[in-house]
């Protein structure tokens, strides 16, 4: 697997961090993990093979994670690079995904789901393994962020694993769900004294990391308050594992 960070930030405008999106290359195909408002142009900027994207994961319906999906589908419909495409595009996410896309589509007859190629909308159940792509197993678990928000665990045929929490408050449910992955992509919105319970501050993120013991930890979804602090140095005071600060354009081999 290879992970490319397209957006390591939040909904708050930032000169160096786009809204959350991640490009994942696997032996089974390519996946866009969340589609923030900047996702389409960030994919082009990173020169990935976006016209042949195999699947999109939608963790929840907040606009900094979902808002770029209608734009991306609208672009796919009209882009010269996708007119000859025949393989399906899978859009995978929580219950309500299909209805939300239909509502947006019908608002102005965008024909988002009428592409030159088939579009498959898959609404997943929690706590049941599913085929994300052929020979790529997905598992999802509910998280305390929104009513529909999900964390995702992916396992390829070589048994390499990635866990993407997306937005979440603190929950011990992640201790088991995210145990011992090759890479844990974990939100760390705030340094301390968080103002909401539906995100993590550093001490909570590191408690999850300690319990899960990933081979590598990538902290992401970083609010601008982190600009004035050394995230990795502070994380290292909590545990001795490898911690990486997500930055836009970061590339990691898993």
Residues 30 and 49: beta-carbon distance below 8 Å: yes
Residues 189 and 178: beta-carbon distance below 8 Å: no
Question: What residue has token string 């995210």?
Answer: 178
Count of CB atoms within 10 A of residue 172's CB? 10
Strands 216-220 and 242-245: parallel
Backbone angles phi and psi of 2, in degrees to 5: -135, 135
The encoded tokens of residue 154 equal: 């992916």
Catalytic machinery residues: 64
Count of CB atoms within 10 A of residue 162's CB? 27
- How many angstroms separate the CA atoms of 123 and 75, rounded? 23
- How many angstroms separate the CA atoms of 190 and 168, rounded? 12
């Amino acid at each position: 697997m290879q992970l490319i960070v397209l957006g390591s930030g939040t909904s708050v405008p930032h000169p160096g961090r786009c809204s959350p999106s991640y490009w994942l290359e696997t032996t089974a195909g390519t996946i866009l993990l969340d589609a923030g408002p900047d996702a389409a142009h960030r994919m082009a900027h990173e020169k990935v093979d976006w016209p042949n994207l195999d699947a999109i994961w939608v963790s929840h319906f907040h606009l900094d994670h979902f808002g770029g999906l209608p734009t991306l589908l609208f672009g796919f419909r009209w882009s010269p690079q996708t007119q000859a495409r025949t393989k399906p595009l899978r859009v995978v996410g929580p219950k309500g995904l299909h209805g939300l896309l239909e509502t947006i589509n019908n608002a102005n007859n965008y024909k988002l789901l009428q592409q030159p190629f088939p579009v498959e909308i898959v609404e997943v159940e929690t706590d049941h393994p599913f085929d994300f792509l052929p020979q790529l197993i997905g598992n999802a678990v509910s998280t305390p962020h929104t009513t529909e928000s999900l964390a995702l665990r992916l396992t390829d045929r070589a048994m390499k694993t990635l866990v993407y929490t997306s937005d979440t408050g603190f929950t011990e449910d992640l201790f088991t769900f995210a145990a011992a992955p090759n890479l844990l992509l974990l939100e760390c919105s705030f340094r301390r004294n968080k103002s909401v319970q539906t995100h993590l501050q550093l001490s909570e993120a590191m408690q999850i990391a300690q319990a899960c013991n990933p081979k590598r930890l990538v902290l992401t979804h970083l609010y601008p308050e982190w600009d004035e602090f050394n995230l990795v140095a502070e994380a290292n005071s909590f545990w001795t594992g490898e911690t990486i600060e997500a930055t836009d354009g970061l590339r990691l081999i898993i």
